[in-house]
């Protein structure tokens, strides 16, 4: 790319210099323009020659070369250089847009791990994921990305699946659960039995879809490709007819005059702008979208937006921030401050987003005004259920409804939108805390703007429970909400 750019710049400088050479210096002027033409059009000439060798004679490169040679034949040297210079400048901008797009995509899709921790005879070896075979055991440490798809053999943890699903709430995995490559292990070390090779893994398939986006052409680009295929031979035949037929048919018409006109016709008919502008517009659009974190699998999808009348939204990280906030506290036998204090202290060492939101609420609401217990001991994380802690001699359970159910503690069903965190103190139900994802400040305005643009239907697809999804849809005035969906369910709803 740098080499082509350097040649193009030098060619443009020589071309600019050639424009000031007086017409009297015939040979010098011809040589200067010829050098400029070769420097600027070398890639076009090579492409045309390769096309002819492969049998693809009638393409835009061939037409431009013929037009440029024709311009030289009629001594219109500037036009000959202009044809290839403008085309190459357009290609350079196209290449720049593609590179920017790929760079943006690479930054957004940084989900492919460089190595996998292969377990061999009790020892862990860092190897290339491509070298791991189906059935091998790999170890995924805390903070590491899962290198290959597999099944958890030992360990329990939470996985950050946001890069794959957009869901910011970590997904709990235990022994026997399937996990996908590209996820980040958040809490504890996992031993995983590989079920798919690296080439067939989820992360590889996602990267392949994005990297081959340019192969999925829009109907406009397909039309331009077909147009160039038929347009080139038609123009060449017309030029040939213009050069030969009139001198044979019309009295007084000369071959020299109509050959000049035929060559002029070739120069004028060269479709540089049309051939370049359409693909460049799509590449620029894909690159600009990627810069904003929006990935498109091809220009055909970009073009489809022009006729779209239905928009389907994910919830977490799309309509909402992915930052959770305590919205409601319902104590039973304790004050709101006491309940929040118990929960925050029990969750003091957890990195789960919901735990973080409870601690933030405690800092904001209670830290300066509440009487804080000083003894927090025997903190135990019960994977998939919650936390058990001893606080000032009181045994506190904080977590899901099933955590309290396992302890034989009855609690009321949650009827409020959001995620419910239940508490029990000394074997007695103590209350619940409701945590909800914050709506992005520009979400409502964006949805209203889409309405004004003619989008008739807007739908929410979410893995959250029914109350949460329907509450959000109502607040944002969406047309429908489908809840309790797995990623595969979202695809099914989208297709139907």
Catalytic positions are: 314
DSSP symbol at 147:
-
CA Rg, the chain, in Å?
Answer: 33
Tell me the backbone φ, ψ of residue 483, rounded to 5 degrees. Answer: -120, 175
Instruction: Return the structure tokens found at 447.
Output: 């949805």
Q: How many Cβ atoms are within 10 Å of 418's Cβ, its own excluded?
A: 23
Instruction: Return the structure tokens found at 286.
Output: 């894909």
Give CA 378 to chain center in angstroms: 44
Spatial neighbors of 223 by CB under 8 A, at least 6 apart, are none
Q: Are 356 and 186 in contact (CB under 8 A)?
A: no
DSSP symbol at 357:
H
Q: Is 414 exposed, middle or buried (0-12, 13-18, 19+ CB in 10 A)?
A: middle
Tell me how far apart the alpha carbons of residues 39 and 3 are, in angstroms, rounded to a whole number: 11
Q: Is 310 exposed, middle or buried (0-12, 13-18, 19+ CB in 10 A)?
A: exposed
Stated length of the chain: 496
Spatial neighbors of 407 by CB under 8 A, at least 6 apart, are 397, 424, 427
Tell me how far apart the alpha carbons of residues 259 and 167 are, in angstroms, rounded to a whole number: 67
Instruction: Return the structure tokens found at 112.
Output: 């492919």
Which residue, chain included where needed, has tokens 């909402």?
320
Burial code (b: 16+ CB inside 10 Å, e: under 16) for 275-293 equals bbebbbbbbbbbbebbeee
Tell me the backbone φ, ψ of residue 143, rounded to 5 degrees. Answer: 85, -5
Instruction: Return the structure tokens found at 412.
Output: 């009321």
Beta-strand ranges (E) seen in 89-141 are 116-120, 123-127, 137-140
Tell me the backbone φ, ψ of residue 359, rounded to 5 degrees. Answer: -65, -40
Tell me how far apart the alpha carbons of residues 394 and 241 are, in angstroms, rounded to a whole number: 99
3-state helix, strand, coil in the chain (%, to 5): 50, 20, 30
């Amino acid at each position: 790319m740098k080499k082509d750019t350097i040649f193009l710049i030098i060619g443009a400088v020589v071309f600019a210099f050639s424009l000031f050479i007086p017409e009297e210096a015939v040979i010098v002027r011809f040589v200067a323009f010829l050098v400029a033409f070769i420097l600027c059009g070398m890639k076009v000439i090579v492409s045309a020659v390769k096309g002819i060798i492969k049998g693809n004679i009638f393409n835009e490169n061939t037409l431009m070369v013929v037009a440029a040679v024709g311009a030289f034949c009629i001594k219109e040297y500037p036009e000959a250089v202009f044809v290839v210079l403008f085309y190459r400048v357009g290609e350079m901008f196209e290449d720049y847009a593609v590179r920017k797009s790929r760079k943006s995509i690479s930054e957004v899709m940084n989900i492919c791990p460089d190595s996998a921790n292969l377990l061999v005879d009790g020892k862990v070896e860092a190897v290339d994921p491509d070298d791991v075979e189906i059935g091998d055991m790999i170890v995924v440490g805390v903070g590491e990305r899962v290198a290959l798809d597999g099944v958890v053999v030992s360990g329990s943890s939470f996985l950050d699946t946001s890069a794959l699903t957009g869901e910011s709430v970590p997904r709990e995995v235990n022994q026997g659960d399937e996990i996908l490559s590209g996820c980040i292990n958040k809490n504890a070390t996992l031993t995983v039995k590989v079920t798919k090779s690296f080439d067939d893994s989820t992360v590889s398939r996602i990267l392949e879809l994005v990297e081959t986006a340019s192969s999925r052409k829009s109907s406009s680009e397909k039309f331009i490709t077909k147009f160039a295929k038929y347009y080139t031979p038609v123009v060449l035949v017309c030029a040939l007819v213009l050069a030969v037929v009139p001198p044979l048919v019309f009295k007084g018409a000369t071959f020299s005059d109509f050959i000049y006109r035929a060559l002029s016709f070739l120069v004028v008919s060269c479709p540089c702008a049309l051939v370049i502008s359409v693909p460049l517009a799509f590449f620029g659009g894909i690159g600009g979208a990627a810069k904003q974190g929006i990935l498109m699998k091809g220009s055909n999808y970009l073009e489809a937006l022009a006729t779209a009348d239905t928009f389907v939204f994910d919830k977490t990280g799309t309509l909402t921030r992915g930052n959770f906030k305590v919205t409601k506290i319902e104590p039973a036998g304790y004050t709101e401050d006491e309940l929040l204090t118990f929960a925050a202290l029990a969750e003091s060492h957890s990195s789960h987003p919901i735990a973080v939101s409870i601690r933030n609420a405690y800092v904001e609401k209670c830290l300066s005004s509440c009487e804080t217990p000083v003894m927090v001991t025997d903190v135990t994380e019960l994977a998939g259920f919650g936390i058990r802690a001893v606080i000032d001699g009181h045994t506190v359970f904080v977590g899901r409804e099933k955590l309290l159910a396992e302890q034989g503690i009855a609690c009321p069903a949650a009827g409020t939108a959001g995620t419910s965190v239940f508490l029990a103190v000394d074997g007695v139900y103590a209350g619940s805390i409701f945590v909800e994802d914050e709506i992005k400040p520009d979400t409502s305005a964006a949805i209203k703007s889409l309405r004004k643009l003619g989008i008739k239907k807007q739908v929410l697809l979410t893995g959250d429970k029914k109350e949460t999804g329907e509450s959000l849809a109502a607040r944002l005035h969406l047309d429908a909400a489908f809840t309790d969906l797995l990623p595969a369910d979202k695809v099914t709803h989208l297709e139907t």
